Amino acid sequence: MTARTYRDAYGIPHLRAADPLELARAQGRNAATDRAWQIEVERHRALGTSAAFLGADALGWDVFARQARLADTARRCYDALAPATAEWVRAYVDGVNAGLAEHGDRAPEFAAAGITPGRWEPWTPLAVWLSHHVLFAGFPTKLWRDRVARALGDEHIELFATDGPGTSGSNGWLVAGERTGSGAALIAGDPHRFIEDPGIYQQIRLACPEFDVIGLAVPGVPGIGHFGHTGGVAWAITSAMADYQDLYRERLRRTEGPGGPGIEALGPDGWQPAAVHTETVEVAGAEPVEIEIVETDRGPVIIGGADGGGEAISLRHLPRAEAALGFDTLPALLHARTVADVDRAFDRWVEPVNVVQAADTEGGLLHRVAGAVPLRARENSLRPVPAWDAEYAWRGRHPMPRAEVHGTAVMANQRGLAAPLGVEFAPPHRAERIARLLDAPVAWAPRDMAAVHMDTHLTSARPLLDLLAALDGLSPAAEKLRGRLLDWDRRMEADSVEAARFAALRSAVVRRLAADPALAGLAGPSPYPDLFLPWLALLPRVAFALETLLADDHLPGVDRAELVRAAVEETAGAGGEVTWGATHRLAPWQALPGADGTADEEWPGLAGDHDCVLVTSSVPGFTDRSARGSAARYVWDLADRDNSLWVVPFGASGLPGHPHRRDQLPLWLSGGLAPVTTDWTRLTEEP
């Protein structure tokens, strides 16, 4: 049969075809129909050509994408795929190209940007995936730690360790059948990423005689990798917070030889030739920029070069080093029927490294890490290491940890199952809070999970409030504010004035601590590209490590009590009865901000905070606006797939003004979840 598209009440696509290849073509065509502008922006970002129409603000990313050789790495990984997987990816790309040719011009952003849809290559989906995830593990944190060690001493290298502003995470939990009303397992959670409009996750169903899967796809990438339900088995992931990318300090020098000028890099075996060529990055409204692309035996040079002393930093990661990304996992997941099938499929996964939970209708349960982490010296995980020292070479791969499930299992980026694989993990608050909520004597059902998704208790407020409680000699206004905050229930609700006052106090503390002379060596501009600023700026680092910095005397010379005293006097003097939601507003990323007519002030206010289960991250001390949070929420029911629930921040369509562009936003804000509908008779077929 010819592939057919159906829609539910929220416009979510349900695709039906005669075989997996025809279905892959249908998925690609649908991505181009529903998300043409979005996937074309991602293609250009992966190629390093987005500044040609987005302007100078996109130049830093394009330079990095070129220097890191994302497109060439994708080609290598595609060439290494199993033949059947490569054929499946090609079918998807054929669908994308057909859909762009037929429907791409419906997206008005193309005209606004002055471009037309381009043509996808067979390897483009792998490039899109790399573009989304190359910064996922936060390798720029190694540059920050190196700076901390140089400014404060090696003993402080991990002082600011925390789930910081440049990372992504997730909540996830599995409730075994013994704890549910149906007697079958539930899997629930929400991936935390920068909120993009349109969203990075697309609700979709893929059905053919071989399989029938619902889940969250990434537009521009075939299959359903991270969150899916086949009817017999369901799975979900969170970031393992593993460290699997290394930075090497390189020494480079220019050479002259029979073949012309070149570059050499100092490695463990002496000076070796490096690959080098130049590329030109086009920039809308500005002159083009010519850049030199250098790659040593460790990997592509992403900072510095052969001039100015020849100091540089290269990036080494498995997709580039071994032409391995893990895409052979994706079609295997679609065919999965049991937990054992999901387990075998994830054995092939490489990057990013995730914690996986799965359950099936036979009672099988799975809790494991999936991906690849190189074995190497611990120093590699902390900071850039010298390329010329063999001590820092890779020596195989880590085994992936796994654990038994007893009643419930919670994964929230905390130090736990994946502890041997990483350095920085999220504070334990989200995981402990979820576990505490799940310990309630409840026979859990899918609808009950919204109460966990939307929990706003802020455990990390304790150190600041403890210091506040111990102060004496405050002014009357500060004394009144202290009383209100000590009586506060520590819930970051959107309509809470106390939550807003706490956030204002926290921001004042962050700014004062960042300005303290003890941290002067970390202030000032970074010598590294602005792209890495979220990982390298002092104020965000203080903001996200505040709990640690206030809990103990980690910083000699910093009087924590007096710092909080000055901050509470400042905050009390500001006055006002503003609610948290008045300033803590959604701030999604858009490739062309305002192209759909939405002004910044029109985005809604939010409950939650960085360390709440309801993650809505801002940067205390800099802004209350939230750019990171739940990119989707889901509940997979193994008793009956039609009892499953899901929601995304915006909607199924990427077209401005479309009825399903933002029809899920009210649900997402309130904690509501849309029903999963799999009965074909309750769906509407598109002509």
Cα maximum dimension of the chain: 81
Same-domain status, 157 and 250: no
C-alpha distances out from residue 388 to 243, 265, 272, 312, 391, Å:
21, 9, 11, 13, 9
List Cβ neighbours of 584 (8 Å cut-off, separation of 6 or more). 492, 494, 500, 503, 605, 606, 607, 609, 616, 618, 624, 625, 626
Please state, as a whole number, how many other Cβ atoms lie within 10 Å of the Cβ of residue 575.
Answer: 10
Instruction: Examine the pLDDT at 627 and tell me if it is beyond 90.
Output: yes
The per-residue pLDDT for 556 is 75
Instruction: Examine the pLDDT at 260 and tell me if it is beyond 60.
Output: yes
d(CA 318, CA 26): 31
Instruction: Examine the pLDDT at 595 and tell me if it is beyond 70.
Output: no
Residue 34, SS3 per DSSP: helix
d(CA 676, CA 187): 14
DSSP readout, 332-392?
HHHT--SHHHHHHHHTT--SS-EEEEEEETTS-EEEEEES--B---HHHHHS-EETT-GGG
Instruction: Examine the pLDDT at 169 and tell me if it is beyond 90.
Output: no
The per-residue pLDDT for 167 is 60
The per-residue pLDDT for 593 is 81
Annotated active-site residue 170? The verdict is yes
Whether 461 maps to a domain, the answer reads: yes
Whether 577 maps to a domain, the answer reads: yes
- Chain segment 75-98, per-residue pLDDT in tens: 999 999 999 999 999 999 999 999
The per-residue pLDDT for 164 is 58
The per-residue pLDDT for 165 is 55
List Cβ neighbours of 385 (8 Å cut-off, separation of 6 or more). 246, 247, 248, 249, 377, 379, 392
Residue 264 DSSP code: E
Same-domain status, 500 and 618: yes
Whether 387 maps to a domain, the answer reads: no
Domain of residue 566: give its range: 153-165+456-627
What pLDDT band is residue 599 in, cutting at 50, 70 and 90? low
Same-domain status, 159 and 296: no
Tokens 């502008």 belong to: 37
Whether 357 maps to a domain, the answer reads: no
Same-domain status, 159 and 265: no
The per-residue pLDDT for 166 is 57
Tell me, what CATH number does 593's domain have?
1.10.1400.10
Instruction: Examine the pLDDT at 327 and tell me if it is beyond 90.
Output: yes
- Chain segment 421-478, per-residue pLDDT in tens: 999 999 999 999 999 999 999 899 999 999 999 999 999 999 999 999 999 999 999 9
Instruction: Examine the pLDDT at 177 and tell me if it is beyond 80.
Output: yes
Provide the whole-model pTM: 0.96
Instruction: Examine the pLDDT at 600 and tell me if it is beyond 60.
Output: no
186-194 and 169-175: which strand pairing? Answer: antiparallel
What pLDDT band is residue 104 in, cutting at 50, 70 and 90? confident
Same-domain status, 460 and 600: yes
Residues of the chain with pLDDT > 90, as a percent, come to: 91
Same-domain status, 159 and 289: no
Whether 570 maps to a domain, the answer reads: yes
Number of domains in the chain: 2
What average pLDDT score do residues 612-618 get? 96
Exposure letters 85-114 (e unless 16+ CB within 10 A, then b): bbebbbbbbbbbbbbbeebbeebebbeebe
What pLDDT band is residue 336 in, cutting at 50, 70 and 90? very high
Q: Which of 50, 131, 168, 170 is catalytic?
A: 170
Same-domain status, 467 and 598: yes
Tell me, what CATH number does 270's domain have?
2.30.120.10
- Chain segment 180-239, per-residue pLDDT in tens: 999 999 999 999 999 999 999 999 999 999 999 999 999 999 999 999 999 999 999 999
The residue from 280, 297, 320 where one domain ends is: 320
C-alpha distances out from residue 176 to 180, 229, 259, Å:
7, 16, 65
d(CA 208, CA 335): 10
Whether 569 maps to a domain, the answer reads: yes
What average pLDDT score do residues 348-377 get? 97
The residue from 286, 320, 354 where one domain ends is: 320
Residue 208 bridge partners (DSSP): 211
Same-domain status, 158 and 293: no
C-alpha distances out from residue 509 to 378, 550, 565, Å:
33, 10, 9
What pLDDT band is residue 574 in, cutting at 50, 70 and 90? confident
The per-residue pLDDT for 1 is 58
The per-residue pLDDT for 258 is 82
Same-domain status, 157 and 285: no
CB 54 within 8 A of CB 100: no
Bigger pLDDT: 596 or 407? 407
Mean pLDDT of the chain: 95
C-alpha distances out from residue 131 to 54, 69, 72, 311, 401, Å:
17, 10, 12, 26, 27
Whether 217 maps to a domain, the answer reads: no
Same-domain status, 161 and 292: no
CB 540 within 8 A of CB 165: yes
What pLDDT band is residue 552 in, cutting at 50, 70 and 90? confident
Instruction: Examine the pLDDT at 596 and tell me if it is beyond 70.
Output: no
Same-domain status, 290 and 161: no
Whether 288 maps to a domain, the answer reads: yes
| Tokens at 415, concatenated | 């130090």
Type of residue found at 454: M
The residue from 293, 320, 347 where one domain ends is: 320
Same-domain status, 470 and 618: yes
- Chain segment 24-50, per-residue pLDDT in tens: 999 999 999 999 999 999 999 999 999
